[in-house]
Amino acid sequence: MIFSAFSSRHLSRLASAALVLMLPALAAASYAEREDARAFIAELTARHDFDPAALDRALARARHDPSVIRLITPPAHKGARSWQNYRARFLDRTRIDGGLAFWEAHAATLQRAANQYGVPAEIIVAILGVETMYGRHTGDFETLSALATLAFDYPPRAELFRRELEALFLLAREQGRDPASYSGSFAGALGYPQFLPSSVRAYAVDFDGDGRVDFDRDPSDAIGSVANYLHAHGWQAGAPVAERARVAPGADTAPLLAAGIEPALAPDILASAGIGPLDGRAAAATATLVDLETPGAATEYWLGYRNFYVITRYNRSSFYAMSVFELAEALRLRRLVDAMRSARNRP
Protein backbone atom coordinates (compact mmCIF):
# COMPACT_ATOMS: atom_id res chain seq x y z
CA MET A 1 0.00 0.00 0.00
CA ILE A 2 3.05 2.32 -0.04
CA PHE A 3 2.42 3.24 -3.69
CA SER A 4 -1.13 4.40 -2.92
CA ALA A 5 0.26 6.97 -0.51
CA PHE A 6 1.92 8.82 -3.37
CA SER A 7 0.16 10.38 -6.32
CA SER A 8 1.71 10.15 -9.77
CA ARG A 9 2.50 13.85 -9.37
CA HIS A 10 4.57 13.13 -6.26
CA LEU A 11 6.42 10.37 -8.09
CA SER A 12 7.09 12.72 -10.99
CA ARG A 13 8.57 15.32 -8.64
CA LEU A 14 10.75 12.74 -6.88
CA ALA A 15 12.02 11.37 -10.17
CA SER A 16 12.74 14.86 -11.46
CA ALA A 17 14.59 15.78 -8.27
CA ALA A 18 16.74 12.67 -8.61
CA LEU A 19 17.50 13.63 -12.20
CA VAL A 20 18.87 17.01 -11.12
CA LEU A 21 21.56 15.20 -9.13
CA MET A 22 22.40 12.98 -12.10
CA LEU A 23 22.53 15.70 -14.79
CA PRO A 24 26.33 16.05 -15.03
CA ALA A 25 26.77 12.32 -15.64
CA LEU A 26 23.86 12.18 -18.07
CA ALA A 27 25.13 15.12 -20.08
CA ALA A 28 28.55 13.51 -20.47
CA ALA A 29 27.29 10.08 -21.56
CA SER A 30 26.46 9.21 -25.15
CA TYR A 31 23.06 7.58 -25.45
CA ALA A 32 24.59 4.99 -27.78
CA GLU A 33 26.82 3.82 -24.90
CA ARG A 34 23.96 3.32 -22.46
CA GLU A 35 22.51 -0.09 -21.78
CA ASP A 36 18.88 1.02 -21.96
CA ALA A 37 19.47 2.76 -25.29
CA ARG A 38 21.26 -0.27 -26.69
CA ALA A 39 18.30 -2.43 -25.69
CA PHE A 40 16.06 0.07 -27.50
CA ILE A 41 18.21 -0.24 -30.64
CA ALA A 42 17.92 -4.04 -30.48
CA GLU A 43 14.13 -3.81 -30.17
CA LEU A 44 13.80 -1.48 -33.18
CA THR A 45 16.16 -3.63 -35.23
CA ALA A 46 14.11 -6.74 -34.54
CA ARG A 47 10.74 -5.03 -34.98
CA HIS A 48 11.40 -2.87 -38.04
CA ASP A 49 14.55 -4.29 -39.68
CA PHE A 50 16.60 -1.17 -38.99
CA ASP A 51 20.34 -1.13 -39.51
CA PRO A 52 21.58 -1.20 -35.89
CA ALA A 53 24.74 0.69 -36.84
CA ALA A 54 22.64 3.56 -38.25
CA LEU A 55 20.58 3.75 -35.06
CA ASP A 56 23.77 3.62 -33.03
CA ARG A 57 25.22 6.54 -34.97
CA ALA A 58 22.02 8.55 -34.58
CA LEU A 59 21.77 8.05 -30.83
CA ALA A 60 25.48 8.82 -30.47
CA ARG A 61 24.66 12.31 -31.80
CA ALA A 62 21.69 12.84 -29.48
CA ARG A 63 22.43 14.85 -26.37
CA HIS A 64 20.72 15.04 -23.01
CA ASP A 65 18.92 18.39 -22.77
CA PRO A 66 18.19 19.42 -19.16
CA SER A 67 15.90 22.23 -20.32
CA VAL A 68 13.56 19.61 -21.79
CA ILE A 69 13.24 17.95 -18.37
CA ARG A 70 12.70 21.32 -16.71
CA LEU A 71 9.97 22.36 -19.14
CA ILE A 72 8.02 19.11 -19.02
CA THR A 73 8.14 18.65 -15.24
CA PRO A 74 4.91 19.79 -13.52
CA PRO A 75 5.45 22.66 -11.06
CA ALA A 76 5.89 21.60 -7.44
CA HIS A 77 3.12 23.96 -6.35
CA LYS A 78 0.37 24.40 -8.89
CA GLY A 79 -1.67 27.54 -8.62
CA ALA A 80 -5.41 27.55 -9.13
CA ARG A 81 -6.37 27.18 -12.77
CA SER A 82 -7.96 30.27 -14.27
CA TRP A 83 -10.09 30.05 -17.40
CA GLN A 84 -10.02 33.82 -17.88
CA ASN A 85 -6.22 33.90 -17.78
CA TYR A 86 -5.94 30.91 -20.12
CA ARG A 87 -8.48 32.36 -22.55
CA ALA A 88 -6.70 35.71 -22.68
CA ARG A 89 -3.58 34.03 -24.09
CA PHE A 90 -5.43 33.01 -27.26
CA LEU A 91 -8.32 35.45 -27.69
CA ASP A 92 -6.27 38.58 -28.24
CA ARG A 93 -6.16 40.99 -31.15
CA THR A 94 -2.83 39.71 -32.44
CA ARG A 95 -4.10 36.15 -32.76
CA ILE A 96 -7.42 37.20 -34.27
CA ASP A 97 -5.83 39.56 -36.81
CA GLY A 98 -3.22 36.91 -37.61
CA GLY A 99 -5.92 34.31 -38.08
CA LEU A 100 -7.86 36.50 -40.49
CA ALA A 101 -4.70 37.15 -42.52
CA PHE A 102 -3.85 33.44 -42.55
CA TRP A 103 -7.41 32.55 -43.64
CA GLU A 104 -7.28 35.13 -46.42
CA ALA A 105 -3.90 33.88 -47.66
CA HIS A 106 -4.95 30.22 -47.69
CA ALA A 107 -8.69 30.46 -48.31
CA ALA A 108 -8.78 28.03 -51.23
CA THR A 109 -6.79 25.36 -49.36
CA LEU A 110 -8.94 25.76 -46.25
CA GLN A 111 -12.13 25.47 -48.28
CA ARG A 112 -10.85 22.33 -49.98
CA ALA A 113 -10.02 20.79 -46.60
CA ALA A 114 -13.47 21.74 -45.26
CA ASN A 115 -15.14 20.17 -48.29
CA GLN A 116 -13.07 16.98 -48.12
CA TYR A 117 -13.12 16.34 -44.37
CA GLY A 118 -16.19 18.21 -43.15
CA VAL A 119 -14.21 20.34 -40.68
CA PRO A 120 -14.95 24.10 -40.86
CA ALA A 121 -12.12 26.35 -41.99
CA GLU A 122 -12.34 28.42 -38.81
CA ILE A 123 -11.66 25.36 -36.62
CA ILE A 124 -8.57 24.46 -38.66
CA VAL A 125 -7.29 28.04 -38.51
CA ALA A 126 -7.97 28.27 -34.76
CA ILE A 127 -6.02 25.09 -34.00
CA LEU A 128 -3.02 26.37 -35.96
CA GLY A 129 -3.40 29.70 -34.17
CA VAL A 130 -3.47 28.20 -30.70
CA GLU A 131 -0.68 25.73 -31.47
CA THR A 132 1.92 27.87 -33.21
CA MET A 133 0.49 31.32 -33.97
CA TYR A 134 -0.04 30.21 -37.58
CA GLY A 135 3.44 28.75 -37.90
CA ARG A 136 5.39 31.58 -36.25
CA HIS A 137 6.34 29.62 -33.11
CA THR A 138 7.02 25.98 -33.96
CA GLY A 139 9.92 25.43 -31.54
CA ASP A 140 13.67 25.16 -32.04
CA PHE A 141 14.50 22.07 -30.01
CA GLU A 142 16.31 19.32 -31.90
CA THR A 143 13.66 16.61 -31.92
CA LEU A 144 16.05 13.66 -31.74
CA SER A 145 17.77 14.96 -28.60
CA ALA A 146 14.49 16.09 -27.00
CA LEU A 147 12.85 12.71 -27.48
CA ALA A 148 15.96 10.79 -26.42
CA THR A 149 16.11 12.89 -23.25
CA LEU A 150 12.47 12.14 -22.46
CA ALA A 151 12.65 8.49 -23.53
CA PHE A 152 15.65 7.61 -21.37
CA ASP A 153 15.87 10.28 -18.67
CA TYR A 154 12.28 11.11 -17.73
CA PRO A 155 10.85 8.01 -16.01
CA PRO A 156 7.29 9.32 -15.44
CA ARG A 157 6.54 9.26 -19.19
CA ALA A 158 9.43 7.27 -20.62
CA GLU A 159 7.19 4.67 -22.25
CA LEU A 160 5.27 7.29 -24.23
CA PHE A 161 8.40 9.04 -25.42
CA ARG A 162 10.17 5.81 -26.38
CA ARG A 163 7.24 5.17 -28.68
CA GLU A 164 7.63 8.67 -30.11
CA LEU A 165 11.38 8.20 -30.56
CA GLU A 166 10.65 4.95 -32.37
CA ALA A 167 8.12 6.81 -34.54
CA LEU A 168 10.72 9.49 -35.30
CA PHE A 169 13.15 6.88 -36.64
CA LEU A 170 10.38 5.34 -38.74
CA LEU A 171 9.28 8.75 -40.01
CA ALA A 172 12.83 9.70 -40.95
CA ARG A 173 13.23 6.46 -42.89
CA GLU A 174 9.92 6.96 -44.68
CA GLN A 175 10.72 10.57 -45.57
CA GLY A 176 14.36 9.91 -46.47
CA ARG A 177 15.59 12.35 -43.84
CA ASP A 178 18.29 12.37 -41.21
CA PRO A 179 16.62 11.77 -37.81
CA ALA A 180 18.61 14.73 -36.46
CA SER A 181 17.17 17.10 -39.08
CA TYR A 182 13.83 17.61 -37.31
CA SER A 183 13.16 20.42 -34.87
CA GLY A 184 10.12 21.43 -32.87
CA SER A 185 8.81 21.70 -29.33
CA PHE A 186 10.55 20.44 -26.20
CA ALA A 187 8.12 17.49 -26.22
CA GLY A 188 8.92 16.48 -29.80
CA ALA A 189 5.94 18.09 -31.59
CA LEU A 190 6.62 19.19 -35.16
CA GLY A 191 5.83 22.11 -37.41
CA TYR A 192 2.70 24.18 -37.99
CA PRO A 193 0.27 21.68 -36.40
CA GLN A 194 2.60 20.38 -33.64
CA PHE A 195 2.03 16.73 -34.46
CA LEU A 196 4.11 14.20 -32.56
CA PRO A 197 5.98 11.82 -34.89
CA SER A 198 3.40 9.05 -34.38
CA SER A 199 0.62 11.45 -35.39
CA VAL A 200 2.57 12.56 -38.46
CA ARG A 201 2.79 8.93 -39.54
CA ALA A 202 -0.87 8.22 -38.78
CA TYR A 203 -2.68 11.38 -39.87
CA ALA A 204 -0.46 13.62 -41.99
CA VAL A 205 -1.52 14.08 -45.62
CA ASP A 206 0.28 15.44 -48.66
CA PHE A 207 -2.41 18.03 -49.23
CA ASP A 208 -0.58 20.06 -51.86
CA GLY A 209 0.26 16.96 -53.91
CA ASP A 210 4.00 17.59 -54.16
CA GLY A 211 4.88 14.05 -53.11
CA ARG A 212 5.90 14.76 -49.53
CA VAL A 213 4.54 16.00 -46.23
CA ASP A 214 6.12 19.30 -45.21
CA PHE A 215 5.11 20.88 -41.90
CA ASP A 216 8.00 23.36 -41.85
CA ARG A 217 7.64 25.75 -44.77
CA ASP A 218 4.18 25.60 -46.38
CA PRO A 219 0.98 25.31 -44.31
CA SER A 220 -0.97 23.42 -46.99
CA ASP A 221 -0.06 19.99 -45.65
CA ALA A 222 -0.74 21.17 -42.09
CA ILE A 223 -4.21 22.41 -43.07
CA GLY A 224 -5.14 19.11 -44.65
CA SER A 225 -3.57 17.10 -41.85
CA VAL A 226 -5.39 18.94 -39.05
CA ALA A 227 -8.67 18.40 -40.89
CA ASN A 228 -7.84 14.72 -41.44
CA TYR A 229 -6.92 14.28 -37.77
CA LEU A 230 -10.23 15.70 -36.56
CA HIS A 231 -12.17 13.74 -39.19
CA ALA A 232 -10.42 10.50 -38.17
CA HIS A 233 -11.34 11.13 -34.54
CA GLY A 234 -15.03 11.46 -35.33
CA TRP A 235 -15.74 15.05 -36.36
CA GLN A 236 -19.42 15.42 -37.32
CA ALA A 237 -19.86 17.77 -40.25
CA GLY A 238 -22.45 20.47 -39.59
CA ALA A 239 -22.97 19.43 -35.96
CA PRO A 240 -22.57 21.87 -33.04
CA VAL A 241 -19.39 22.12 -30.99
CA ALA A 242 -20.49 23.73 -27.73
CA GLU A 243 -22.92 26.24 -26.29
CA ARG A 244 -23.19 28.16 -23.04
CA ALA A 245 -25.25 26.35 -20.42
CA ARG A 246 -27.87 27.60 -18.00
CA VAL A 247 -27.63 25.93 -14.58
CA ALA A 248 -30.67 26.24 -12.35
CA PRO A 249 -30.05 27.59 -8.83
CA GLY A 250 -29.27 24.73 -6.47
CA ALA A 251 -28.58 22.25 -9.29
CA ASP A 252 -26.16 19.49 -8.29
CA THR A 253 -23.50 19.60 -11.00
CA ALA A 254 -21.01 17.27 -9.30
CA PRO A 255 -22.32 13.94 -10.67
CA LEU A 256 -22.70 15.40 -14.16
CA LEU A 257 -19.14 16.75 -14.16
CA ALA A 258 -17.94 13.37 -12.89
CA ALA A 259 -19.35 11.75 -16.03
CA GLY A 260 -16.18 12.88 -17.83
CA ILE A 261 -15.26 14.77 -20.97
CA GLU A 262 -16.79 12.35 -23.48
CA PRO A 263 -20.45 13.25 -24.16
CA ALA A 264 -22.66 10.88 -22.16
CA LEU A 265 -25.48 13.08 -20.85
CA ALA A 266 -28.70 12.85 -22.84
CA PRO A 267 -30.79 16.03 -23.19
CA ASP A 268 -33.49 14.69 -20.87
CA ILE A 269 -30.94 13.87 -18.15
CA LEU A 270 -29.55 17.38 -18.36
CA ALA A 271 -33.03 18.91 -18.30
CA SER A 272 -34.06 16.87 -15.26
CA ALA A 273 -30.96 18.17 -13.47
CA GLY A 274 -31.92 21.77 -14.28
CA ILE A 275 -29.34 22.26 -17.03
CA GLY A 276 -29.78 23.31 -20.63
CA PRO A 277 -28.86 26.00 -23.17
CA LEU A 278 -29.29 29.64 -22.17
CA ASP A 279 -32.42 30.10 -24.30
CA GLY A 280 -34.33 27.44 -22.35
CA ARG A 281 -34.60 24.79 -25.07
CA ALA A 282 -33.29 21.26 -24.66
CA ALA A 283 -29.67 20.41 -25.40
CA ALA A 284 -29.04 19.80 -29.09
CA ALA A 285 -27.62 16.30 -28.52
CA THR A 286 -25.91 14.12 -25.96
CA ALA A 287 -23.36 16.34 -24.26
CA THR A 288 -20.79 16.72 -21.54
CA LEU A 289 -21.05 19.41 -18.89
CA VAL A 290 -17.94 21.59 -18.95
CA ASP A 291 -17.00 23.81 -16.02
CA LEU A 292 -14.56 26.64 -16.70
CA GLU A 293 -13.37 27.93 -13.36
CA THR A 294 -11.69 31.22 -12.55
CA PRO A 295 -10.71 32.06 -8.96
CA GLY A 296 -12.84 34.89 -7.64
CA ALA A 297 -15.33 34.72 -10.53
CA ALA A 298 -18.45 32.74 -11.30
CA THR A 299 -17.79 29.42 -13.03
CA GLU A 300 -18.79 29.30 -16.69
CA TYR A 301 -20.78 26.21 -17.61
CA TRP A 302 -20.95 24.94 -21.18
CA LEU A 303 -22.47 22.01 -22.99
CA GLY A 304 -19.79 20.26 -25.01
CA TYR A 305 -21.02 18.11 -27.88
CA ARG A 306 -19.23 15.37 -29.85
CA ASN A 307 -17.18 17.86 -31.85
CA PHE A 308 -15.96 19.50 -28.63
CA TYR A 309 -14.77 16.09 -27.50
CA VAL A 310 -13.00 15.59 -30.83
CA ILE A 311 -11.01 18.81 -30.28
CA THR A 312 -9.89 17.44 -26.91
CA ARG A 313 -8.32 14.50 -28.77
CA TYR A 314 -5.86 17.04 -30.14
CA ASN A 315 -5.09 18.28 -26.64
CA ARG A 316 -6.88 16.64 -23.74
CA SER A 317 -7.97 19.79 -21.98
CA SER A 318 -11.39 21.44 -21.85
CA PHE A 319 -9.62 24.82 -21.55
CA TYR A 320 -7.76 24.07 -24.79
CA ALA A 321 -10.87 22.91 -26.65
CA MET A 322 -12.87 25.94 -25.54
CA SER A 323 -10.05 28.29 -26.57
CA VAL A 324 -10.03 26.70 -30.03
CA PHE A 325 -13.81 26.98 -30.27
CA GLU A 326 -13.99 30.60 -29.10
CA LEU A 327 -11.09 31.67 -31.34
CA ALA A 328 -12.79 29.91 -34.27
CA GLU A 329 -16.05 31.73 -33.54
CA ALA A 330 -14.26 35.07 -33.23
CA LEU A 331 -12.56 34.51 -36.59
CA ARG A 332 -15.77 33.38 -38.29
CA LEU A 333 -17.76 36.36 -37.04
CA ARG A 334 -15.03 38.90 -37.83
CA ARG A 335 -14.73 37.50 -41.34
CA LEU A 336 -18.50 37.70 -41.77
CA VAL A 337 -18.65 41.28 -40.51
CA ASP A 338 -15.74 42.31 -42.73
CA ALA A 339 -17.47 40.76 -45.75
CA MET A 340 -20.72 42.63 -44.97
CA ARG A 341 -18.85 45.93 -44.59
CA SER A 342 -17.02 45.34 -47.84
CA ALA A 343 -20.30 44.61 -49.63
CA ARG A 344 -21.89 47.82 -48.27
CA ASN A 345 -18.93 49.91 -49.42
CA ARG A 346 -19.00 48.63 -52.99
CA PRO A 347 -20.29 51.18 -55.53
Question: 53-57, 199-203, 215-219: which range is least confident on average?
Answer: 215-219
Instruction: Give the C-alpha separation, 67 to 40, whole Å.
Output: 23
Percent of residues, the chain, with pLDDT higher than 90: 86
Give me the mean pLDDT over the 132-152 stretch: 98
Question: 190: which strand partners?
Answer: 184, 195
Average pLDDT over residues 315-335: 97
What is the C-alpha separation between 205 and 220, in angstroms, rounded? 9
Q: Is 268 helix (H, G, I), strand (E, B) or coil?
A: helix
Region 220-229 average pLDDT: 98
DSSP, collapsed to helix, strand or coil, labels residue 291 as strand
Distance CA 334, CA 167 (A): 40
What is the model's pTM? 0.90
pLDDT of residue 29: 67
Catalytic residue numbers read: 131
Cα torsion at 243, 247, 252, 258 (round to 10°)? 10
- Asked if residues 154 and 164 have their Cβ atoms less than 8 Å apart, the reply is no
CB 107 within 8 Å of CB 152: no
Q: What percent of the chain has pLDDT over 70?
A: 92
User: What number of CA atoms fall less than 13 Å from residue 232's CA on the CB side?
Assistant: 13
Q: Note the Cα 290 to chain centre separation in Å.
A: 19
If pLDDT is split at 50, 70 and 90, which confidence band does 282 have?
very high
**CA distances (Å), 149 to each of 38, 74, 107, in order?**
15, 16, 39
- Round to whole Å and give the CA distance between 54 and 41: 10
DSSP E strands in 213-299: the ranges are 242-247, 275-277, 288-292
| CA–CA separation, 327 and 309 (whole Å) | 16
Lowest mean pLDDT among 69-83, 105-119, 165-179: 69-83
Q: How far apart are CA 308 and CA 123, in angstroms?
A: 11
User: Residue 302 forms beta bridges with which residues?
Assistant: 244, 290
- Cα 133 to Cα 303: distance, rounded to the nearest angstrom: 27
Q: How confident is the model at residue 8 (pLDDT cuts 50, 70, 90)?
A: very low
The model's confidence at residue 9, banded by pLDDT at 50, 70 and 90, is very low
Contact, 171 vs 200, CB < 8 A?
yes
**Long-range contact set of residues 268-274: C-beta below 8 Å, sequence gap at least 24:** 270/303, 274/247, 274/248, 274/250
Per-residue pLDDT band for 12 (boundaries 50, 70, 90) equals very low
Q: Provide the pLDDT confidence category of residue 28 given band limits of 50, 70 and 90.
A: low
